[in-house]
Amino acid sequence: MAQHNRLMEFNTLADAFLPVKDEATDKAIGEAKKAIGDAEWKKGFSKEKRDQVRAILKENGARYETNLSGKLMGVDHAETKGGGLTFQKLRVVLESEQGKTTLSADMKSEFAQRLIAKLDTATMEHAGTDVTVGGFASEKEKDGRTFVDHVATLKGPDGQEIKAAEGHFEKSRDLAATALEPLKAQGMDKEVLSKVASSTREKYFTEVTKGLHNRMVEQGIAPTQMEQQEQKGPYPGHEAHLKAEVGEDKWHSLKVYANKEGALLASLEVTENKERVFRQSNLEVKDGKDGGLVVRGEGFGAKIGEDRKVQFFEGKEQVRGALSPSLKPNEASMKLPAGKDRTAEALNTRLGQGKDRNVGKEV
């Protein structure tokens, strides 16, 4: 069975998650807009419109889902452009045996902001474990008018709802109030005030999302910027891979990169039966006692000799394999013009310093 790699978004009219850039879905939504009418469509959710949209989706063979499940492997911010406008997006990555699902939501939306508050808790307590994202419209009557809240739900591995971290909505509200104060004194109309308040809240939750991403990178769950690029195409760097002794489909991998400042960073990864069991990124490459280099993760590590031979360790025990791997340029590095491989230059400098080094030296 082929694994999927899909981008999904929450559609407030369908009150469900729909695939992005899917031909059948786009056709169905176009038909639904025409059937409902532009004026009614812009008014937003109602149960009648939800049922109508879902029926048209089914008629066109387009799928909708009321929840998305998988291991919480990433929370990030993305900036997209369309129609001359720039949009801030929340991206949530879920992985399962069926593949990867990325949820995209407008950062300014009520759904995204409610979800971010829950993700603040989830990234501390459930990062890398199974979660389920859901959403639904909640209708309320006030002063003879119907208001709709678009509620985000997030459940942990035990099926229990994850509580939103406290303080986010109060902080965003206070920031908006501060931004509006001088504008109100100038007599700005309600439409301008509403846009400024929305933009202020959007900026606040964007910054929160960036913090959640950094938290997951530090946990070794979400990929670093370099590794994100590598997923799109190999990022220039040097790698070594060790297959465990015969009888086990287990691999240890070391990837080393030089950042813009020329400092060496590394990631360690262990896979077993093609499933990742350990990953830690953004690790410092330190000088070893014997003139080589060392990389240490939590419970795992690697040593790079002056000859670039690599030894892997679980705890203090060396991992044994059929072959002795060496750190070599990956495909992207090999395609670089002569003299442009920053990683090779940094490795040559660090490994060529011999045993008299003292910067970053282990003691």
Q: What is the pLDDT along the chain (363 residues), one digit of tens a residue?
A: 456 789 999 999 999 999 998 999 999 999 999 999 999 999 999 999 999 999 999 999 999 999 999 999 999 998 887 777 888 999 999 998 888 899 999 999 999 999 999 999 999 999 999 999 999 998 887 777 777 889 999 999 999 999 999 999 999 999 999 999 999 899 888 899 999 999 999 999 999 999 999 888 877 777 666 566 656 566 788 999 999 876 678 899 999 988 777 889 898 888 887 777 777 777 889 999 878 999 998 889 999 999 999 999 998 899 988 788 999 998 888 888 888 888 999 999 999 854 444 444 442
What is the Cα–Cα distance from 234 to 227, expressed in whole angstroms?
Answer: 8
What is the Cα–Cα distance from 102 to 93, expressed in whole angstroms?
Answer: 5
Q: How far is CA 153 from CA 57, 69, 161, 172, 329, in A?
A: 23, 12, 7, 20, 44
| pLDDT at residue 363, rounded to an integer | 29
What is the Cα–Cα distance from 106 to 76, expressed in whole angstroms?
Answer: 12
- HSE-up (13 A, CA, CB side) for residue 12: 20
| pLDDT at residue 361, rounded to an integer | 40
Give φ, ψ of 263 to 5 degrees. Answer: -80, 145
What is the Cα–Cα distance from 312 to 289, expressed in whole angstroms?
Answer: 16
- HSE-up (13 A, CA, CB side) for residue 354: 1
What is the Cα–Cα distance from 55 to 38, expressed in whole angstroms?
Answer: 18
Cβ neighbours of 1 (radius 10 Å): 6
Q: How far is CA 158 from CA 117, 161, 192, in A?
A: 19, 9, 44
* Alpha helices (runs of H) in the chain, residue ranges in sequence order: 23-36, 38-43, 47-59, 110-125, 168-185, 190-218, 225-232, 331-334, 342-351
Whether the CB-CB separation of 268 and 355 falls below 8 Å is answered with no
Is the entire prediction scored with pTM above 0.75? no
What is the Cα–Cα distance from 231 to 320, expressed in whole angstroms?
Answer: 28
| pLDDT at residue 233, rounded to an integer | 60
Rg of the chain on CA atoms, in Å: 25
**119 alpha carbon, distance to own chain's centre:** 12
Residues 6+ apart with CB under 8 A from 84: none
| pLDDT at residue 144, rounded to an integer | 73
Nearest CA to 123 out of 215, 186, 55 is that of 215
